[in-house]
Each structure stands twice: as C-alpha cells, then as structure tokens.
C-alpha cells in the first residue's frame, strides 16, 4: 500500500487553515487541522502558515510530507503560483505563494482557486468518484464552478474557467458578481438574502408579514439561513423565495448541461441544506430548459463531502500536483 502525507493550506478573507491528510490507496484521513484569522499582509500570512505547518508536523511526529496544496479565492495564476488581487484579500497583488513553501519544504506545491479545489476533492473522494465529466458548483457565499472534463481539471486559458456566477439569468434580479440578475445574484447566500429582502418589503406592504421578518426595521437582518429555516418550517414567503432560487438554479444548470454535457453536477453548501425544497423545482426547470438527450445522462446531486468539502479541498490540490 502506498501512503502519501499531504499538507493543505486554505487562504481566505477572514481565516486561514492548515490541514494534514494521509492517503493510503484511494482513502484519505485528515490527521489534523488548525486555523487562525487571516493576517493583514501576505508576508505575515505566509509566515504563520509555515509556523502552523511546522507545529502540526512536530505534534504528529512527522519528519516530511509528499506535497503541499494551496486553495485560495481567485483570480490567480496557478501555473506561476501567483495570487492576483482577490476581492476578499486586500494587499495580495501578484503574490508568489508557491516559492516560499517549495524552497522551505522541498516538495511539489500546487495552487488552485477554491471552486477548482472543491471539484478535485469531490472527484477524488466525494460524489464525483468515477466520473469523467463533472461540474462542482459552490453555491455558498458566491456561485462558482470547478470543471472536470474528459478526466482532467479544466481551468481555461488564464484560470478563469468556471466563473458561472457572472452569467445573466434575468434582466432584473439581485446583484451578484457585479451584475444584476446574475446566476450568483440568485444562487448565493447574499443573493438569496437580497431577493428575500425585496420580496419581504412587498409582502409587508400588502399586510402579509413573514415569520422571518416581523417588521421592515428587521429587513437588514434577513439571511439565506434565516429564510431557509423559515421555509423548512412552512413559511409561505420563505418557500416562495426558495422556489424562485430553484427556478433560476435549474435554468443555470440547463445552460451547463447543454454546453458541457456532464454526467454529474455536484452542488455544495446551500443546495444540500435545502435539498428537499430546491430539488423538485430544479429538476422541473432543468427538464424543461435542457436538451433531453443531454439531460438523460446527467445526475444533479448534493456534495458527497457535505459541509466538510472545504477540509479536503486543499489536500486534493496537493494530490493533483503529485499526479500531474
């Protein structure tokens, strides 16, 4: 049995994490994970990531690792290992994130955006196992896609493949990815909250107050989670909000099915939490909008790794780096 010890580094706008995983054959086990608030500068972040990795390796009594994977929000240049001014990481402009770790640890180091990293994780260890053509949709804070096409991660000409959140699904609608009525505007945490705020305001003016927002003064407290809980409890307006989200999600999926002809579309975060409400609407819209011959070979399923897909994402980048 072949064993690989992998290190995963996640760099986010609010927190960073270091994970150590052990792979034997096709099975993975997370040995340790630690996280800390993202420091204000790239230099501080790199130093803290190195210190945390050293601390974990020492605590686990490990002398070496086989590879390091880094997951970070885009835009980035994965080939050159550069992070290119992500909107949630101020001061991170053309930061070479690979070289410091390669020079210190002497192992292969890979970089991918978070959607690609999650796609790799689902493909290797989750609901995408065995698929040659699959799409992973984040459907969380934002809406992005990681693409596995013909058995390979597809990143595009300059790492911008999969930015499905920017697709406009309606002339009017919530703002997402800088565009009103976009896929991300309807199908993301912030987009759902904004859609619910607009529908709530109209409902209250008609004298129909929803359970998740007793008055207009409470409107800014609305979140995708609070609406989701209300929908699960039978609130009519909350259900209406999620039905509209489901229709737009189905329409977005139809575009992807017709364009890429995948065998699986795996959807993370919010889809898994609200699957019982969203799934029937999504399937109805998808059947109506996509080509039947393409639709017949595609399954739409929630993330197999569930809420823990992010824990495996950077580790999958490390494995991908070795295999590549």
203-222 per-position pLDDT tens digit: 999 999 999 999 999 999 99
Asked if 307 and 121 count as a contact pair (C-beta separation under 8 A), the reply is no
Give pLDDT, residue 145.
98
Same domain, 71 and 10: yes
Domain, as residue range, for 68: 3-126+308-323
Asked if 177 and 185 count as a contact pair (C-beta separation under 8 A), the reply is yes
Give pLDDT, residue 1.
58
Same domain, 168 and 60: no
Same domain, 186 and 76: no
Number of domains present in the structure of the chain: 2
Same domain, 252 and 315: no
Give pLDDT, residue 38.
95
Distance CA 217, CA 228 (A): 20
Token pair 């086989």: residue = 66
Same domain, 318 and 259: no
* The two three-digit tokens of residue 301, written as one number: 């399923």
Same domain, 139 and 281: yes
Same domain, 259 and 319: no
Distance CA 250, CA 304 (A): 20
Regions of the chain with pLDDT less than 70: 1-2
Tens of pLDDT, residue by residue over 123-153, are 999 999 999 999 999 999 999 999 999 999 9
CATH of the domain at 51: 3.30.420.40
Same domain, 146 and 269: yes
Same domain, 105 and 141: no
Q: pTM of the full predicted structure?
A: 0.95
Same domain, 35 and 88: yes
Same domain, 298 and 215: yes
For the purposes of burial, counting CB atoms within 10 Å of the CB of 31, is it exposed (0-12), middle (13-18) or buried (19 or more)?
middle
Residue 68 backbone dihedrals phi, psi, to 5 degrees: -125, 130
Same domain, 27 and 83: yes
Give pLDDT, residue 90.
86
């Amino acid at each position: 049995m072949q064993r690989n010890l992998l290190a995963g580094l996640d760099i986010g706008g609010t927190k960073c994490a270091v994970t150590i995983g052990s792979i034997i054959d096709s099975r993975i086990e997370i040995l340790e994970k630690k996280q800390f608030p993202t420091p204000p500068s790239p230099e501080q972040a790199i130093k803290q990531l190195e210190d945390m990795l050293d601390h974990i390796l020492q605590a686990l009594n490990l002398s070496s690792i086989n590879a390091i994977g880094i997951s970070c929000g885009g835009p980035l240049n994965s080939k050159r290992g550069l992070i290119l001014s992500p909107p949630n990481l101020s001061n991170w402009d053309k930061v070479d994130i690979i070289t410091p770790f390669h020079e210190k640890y002497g192992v292969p180091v890979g970089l991918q955006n978070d959607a690609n990293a999650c796609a790799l994780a689902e493909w290797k260890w989750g609901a995408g196992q065995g698929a040659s053509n699959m799409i992973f949709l984040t459907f969380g804070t934002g809406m992005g896609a990681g693409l596995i096409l013909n058995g390979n991660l597809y990143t595009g000409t300059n790492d911008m493949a999969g930015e499905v959140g920017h697709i406009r699904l309606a002339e009017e609608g919530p703002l997402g990815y800088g565009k009103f009525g976009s896929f991300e505007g309807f199908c993301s945490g912030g987009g759902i909250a904004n859609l619910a705020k607009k529908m709530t305001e109209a409902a209250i003016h008609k004298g129909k107050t929803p359970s998740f927002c007793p008055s207009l003064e409470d409107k800014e407290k609305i979140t995708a989670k609070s609406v989701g809980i209300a929908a699960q409890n039978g609130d009519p307006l909350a259900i209406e909000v999620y039905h509209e989200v489901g229709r737009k999600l189905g329409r977005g999926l139809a575009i992807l099915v017709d364009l890429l002809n995948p065998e699986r579309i795996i959807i993370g975060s919010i889809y898994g939490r609200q699957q019982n409400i969203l799934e029937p609407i999504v399937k109805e819209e998808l059947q109506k909008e996509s080509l039947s011959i393409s639709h017949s070979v595609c399954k739409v399923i929630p993330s197999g790794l569930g809420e823990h897909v992010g824990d495996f994402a950077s580790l999958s980048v490390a494995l991908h780096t070795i295999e590549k």
